[in-house]
């Protein structure tokens, strides 16, 4: 089991998601993220135009066996200036109270989805999944702003602990259509 867990976080380490956004963790649940028919795989590239609508996020497991609830956070850790001393993320989406075995649409959206719009360069878009200790919908306040967000701080303030799963993709600004 340990070899499988370390192998599954290896792309997150190589892509600096673990380090820049998340602390080292052992995945304990499977989840998939799809934009249309395209499944997000660690480090894959997806065009921003394909991400304008919120993705389908499916958590594995049986709802009958488990009454676990989860929080999903989507951020862009590459949004701030590289010269900024403390790495902060741009917040794209937060959904809480997602039942295990179902999808994110069954949870409570506390920060509405905003599709990626990278201004320059390649940006990483990170989906981090956390197991909740109980229902959070009424008790959680959305952050004041999307900028200067910290997944680590949000998880700590919300009592979420380490993530139970994560996946990320890359995107870069698409060339503008040429006009004649």
Query: Which is nearest to 22 in space by CA: 160, 179, 170?
Result: 160
Give the pLDDT score at 4: 41
115-172 pLDDT tens trace: 999 988 899 999 999 999 888 877 788 888 898 899 999 999 999 999 999 999 999 9
Q: What is the DSSP letter of 89?
A: B
CA distances from 60 to 65, 98, 178 (A): 12, 11, 43
31-54-112 Cα angle (round to 5): 105
Domain ranges across the chain: 2-172
Return the structure tokens found at 66: 């488990």
Residue with more model confidence, 7 or 171? 171
Return the structure tokens found at 159: 């009592």
Q: What is the average pLDDT across 73-102?
A: 81
Instruction: Reply yes or no on whether the pLDDT at 8 is more than 90.
Output: no
Mean pLDDT, the chain, rounded, equals 86
Q: Which CATH architecture has domain 2-172?
A: Alpha-Beta Complex (3.90)
In the structure, what pLDDT confidence band is assigned to residue 64 with cuts at 50, 70 and 90? very low
In the structure, what pLDDT confidence band is assigned to residue 59 with cuts at 50, 70 and 90? confident
Residue with more model confidence, 84 or 15? 15
Which sign does the torsion angle of CA 151, 10, 59, 46 carry?
Answer: positive
Residue burial 62-90, b: 16+ Cβ < 10 Å; e: rest? eeeeeebbbbbbbbbbbbeeeeeeeebbb
CB 130 within 8 A of CB 70: yes
Q: Round to whole Å and give the CA distance between 16 and 170.
A: 12
CB 14 within 8 A of CB 8: no
Q: What is the average pLDDT across 73-83?
A: 78
Return the residue matching tokens 């499944």.
Answer: 39
Q: Round to whole Å and give the CA distance between 6 and 23.
A: 13
Percent of the chain whose predicted confidence (pLDDT) is above 70? 86
Strand order in the sheet with 90-99: 44-45, 165-172, 122-131, 69-76, 90-99, 108-111
Strand partners, 20: none
Give the pLDDT score at 111: 95
Give the pLDDT score at 18: 94
């Amino acid at each position: 089991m340990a070899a499988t867990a370390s192998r599954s976080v290896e792309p997150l380490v190589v892509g600096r998601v673990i380090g820049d956004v998340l602390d080292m963790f052992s995945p304990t649940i499977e989840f998939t993220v799809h934009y249309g028919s395209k499944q997000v795989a660690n480090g894959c590239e997806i065009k921003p135009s394909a991400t304008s609508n919120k993705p389908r996020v499916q958590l594995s497991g049986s709802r009958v066996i488990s009454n676990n609830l989860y929080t999903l956070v989507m951020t862009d850790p590459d949004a701030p200036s590289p010269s900024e001393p403390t790495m902060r993320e741009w917040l794209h989406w937060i959904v809480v109270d997602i039942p295990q075995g179902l999808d994110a649409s069954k949870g409570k959206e506390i920060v509405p989805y905003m599709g990626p719009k990278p201004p320059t360069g390649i940006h990483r878009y990170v989906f981090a999944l956390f197991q909740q200790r109980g229902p959070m919908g009424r008790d959680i306040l959305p952050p004041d702003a999307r900028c200067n967000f910290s997944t680590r701080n949000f998880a700590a303030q919300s009592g979420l602990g380490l993530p139970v799963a994560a996946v990320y993709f890359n995107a870069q600004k698409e060339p503008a259509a040429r006009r004649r």
